[in-house]
């Protein structure tokens, strides 16, 4: 079992930045690929970014490419999502997720999920 807890969400003005954290406990964090997903009001949850267990490979959705960066610190059992140049359309609940094996953008492949953290971007 892996228990994930997101933090770092909040209210920010358009053009601002936030860094989300995902703290993991339980089984060995460094063996899991990590993903960030988001769900805007009235919309389905969508993929934002993923990172391999080592941190050597990352993938960012086209919708946030150039603005969002995913990273991880296996020594701290934590994954991060740095979000820059935030826009109102980035408003959503952001979730981190963990899976064994390689990273993927496919939501159904992830085994463990956090409770989510709200990000609200005002115009």
pLDDT of the residue at 28: 85
Q: What is the DSSP string of the chain?
A: -EEEEEE--EEEETT--EEEEEEEEES-GGGEEEEEEEE-TTS--EEEEEE-SSSS-EEE-TTTTTTEEEEEETTTTEEEEEE-S--GGG-EEEEEEEEESS--S-GGG--EE---EEEEEE-
Residues 13-58 pLDDT 10s = 999 999 999 999 976 888 999 999 999 999 999 999 999 999 999 9
pLDDT of the residue at 21: 98
């Amino acid at each position: 079992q892996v228990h994930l807890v997101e933090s770092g969400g909040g209210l920010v003005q358009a053009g601002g930045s936030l860094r989300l954290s995902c703290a993991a406990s339980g089984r060995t964090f460094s063996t899991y690929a990590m993903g960030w997903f988001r769900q805007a009001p009235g919309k389905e949850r969508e993929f934002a970014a993923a990172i391999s267990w080592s941190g050597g490979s990352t993938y960012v959705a086209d919708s946030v490419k150039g603005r969002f960066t995913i990273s991880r610190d296996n020594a701290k059992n934590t994954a991060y999502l740095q979000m820059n140049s935030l826009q109102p359309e980035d408003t959503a609940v952001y979730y981190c997720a963990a899976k064994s094996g390689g990273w993927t953008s496919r939501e159904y492949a992830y085994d463990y999920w956090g409770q989510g953290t709200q990000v609200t971007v005002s115009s």
